[in-house]
Amino acid sequence: MEHAADAKRAWTRRSVIQVAAATVAGAILSACGGSSNTAPTTTAASTQPVTSTQASSAATQPSGSARAGTTPAAQGPLEKELVIVDTGGSFGAGLRKHFYDPFEKATGVKITAVAASGDESFTKLKAGAQAGKVEYDILSTSPATSFQYRDYLVNLDCAQLTNLSQTLTGSCAGTGVLRTFGGNIIAYNAQKFPNGGPQSYADFWDTKKFPGPRAVINLGVAQWVLAIALLADGVTTDKLIPMDLDRAFKKLDQIKPDVKVWWKTGDQSQQILRDGEVVMSFMASGRAITLKKEGLPIEVQWNQAVKDYATWGIAKNAPHPKAAFAFLDFFLGSPQEHAAFSLEVNNSTSNRPAADLLPAAEKPNFAATYWDKMIDIDGSQWVQENRGKINEQFQAWLSK
């Protein structure tokens, strides 16, 4: 991996577009299966952490070879526009600041960001594809939407991504490029457990050693809940899938009386801890870290954390395919931008050297520190094929 110091050589709009004129047409138009994703081991980008001042000003710095990376594109110039679907809000503003604006400055391509949920964006993509008029280029995808709408997404040629060497293992495969991720973890009120909090899901289930009401997610991801039930019952990570559903539900029967809240929104998952309604929760790491930064006595247990990740995907028959692929490659570079963005949104990104740029005190708060040890449930084809059935059975169990 290149050193961040290499970024001092600023690229002009012309130089980026010249490099971008070489290879993407084949990568996009062939729509071949992605080469897998293992990034070679190279030198770390930098050992200097990103400070709060750097985080606020990183987007104003010029895009250099290490910052933006080499941006491959088509046999010919990039299109002048690019339409990207993201989730909007502060997250979308962070993407604009650290990635969209620098890409526009480097290439002259105008990015239009559309805020939409996954269901909204893919419903519109499917309708547009059937009508022969696709409006989106890049969509925010998840393992579920990537599987469900795989016929509407391009299979990426990962070998054409020149910045792939800067990413975490597994950052490009099939139709997706890893964008952001966190972990689903145990967050607990440290004041309630002065001798130490839960260390595993077996502890989460142990209401005698760790008494008090619990909270668990109820947001269409029952596969995560069943997975932690199996872990609590002693199943090893390599034996989780295919899931023994009967065993998982039997284990859930044990904890059900102590789960006071089956939370349905991220805000709710935070508020019940603020209010002291529960003493521990299975929840998103970013939400828990935010509470910790607010000064609440919340601690996070990363052991057996379940990966929760979002990807970028390119629509088939996208109106601006060359610019779309060029942006994906651009996004994978820029360690400084990734580090600053991570600090703002409390989530990790695919750029491996960015984790080294985080202040030492912040590194334990980010999923990138634990990436290789976290459990990937959603990446399983078995899980995606059975996701609907799992959620139906889970809702039926909850209603009993």
**131 occurs within a structural domain:** yes
143 with 188, same domain: the answer is no
Quickly tell me which residue has 């997404």 as its tokens. Answer: 153
Cα(116)–Cα(373) distance, integer angstroms: 32
70/198: higher pLDDT: 198
Q: Does 3 score more than 70 pLDDT?
A: no
- Please give the tally of structural domains in the chain: 2
Q: What's residue 50's pLDDT?
A: 54
pLDDT single digits (tens) 293-329:
999 999 999 999 999 999 999 999 999 999 999 999 9
Residues 104 and 38 in one domain: yes
Q: What are phi and psi of 133, to 5 degrees?
A: -140, 90
Q: Examine residue 19 and state whether it is found in any structural domain, yes or no.
A: yes
What six digits make up the tokens of 64?
């250099």
Do 171 and 186 belong together in one domain? no
Count Cβ atoms below 10 Å from residue 47 Cβ, excluding itself. Answer: 10
Contact 283, 298 (CB under 8 A): no
End-to-end Cα separation, the chain, in angstroms: 53
Task: Examine the pLDDT at 26 and tell me if it is beyond 80.
Answer: no
Going from the C-alpha of 195 to that of each of 57, 78, 131, 198, 211, the distances in angstroms are: 42, 59, 62, 10, 13
Question: Can you give the residue range of the structural domain that contains 21?
Answer: 4-181+309-368
Distance CA 193, CA 316 (A): 52
Report the percent of the chain where pLDDT is more than 70.
81
Q: Is residue 327 situated within a structural domain?
A: yes
Residues 288 and 332 in one domain: no
Residues 347 and 218 in one domain: no
Residue 107 falls inside a structural domain: yes
What is the identity of the amino acid at 319? P
Rounded to whole angstroms, the Cα distance separating 65 from 63 reads: 7
253 dihedral zone (left: phi>0; alpha: psi -120 to 50; beta) = alpha
Has this prediction a pTM greater than 0.85?
A: no
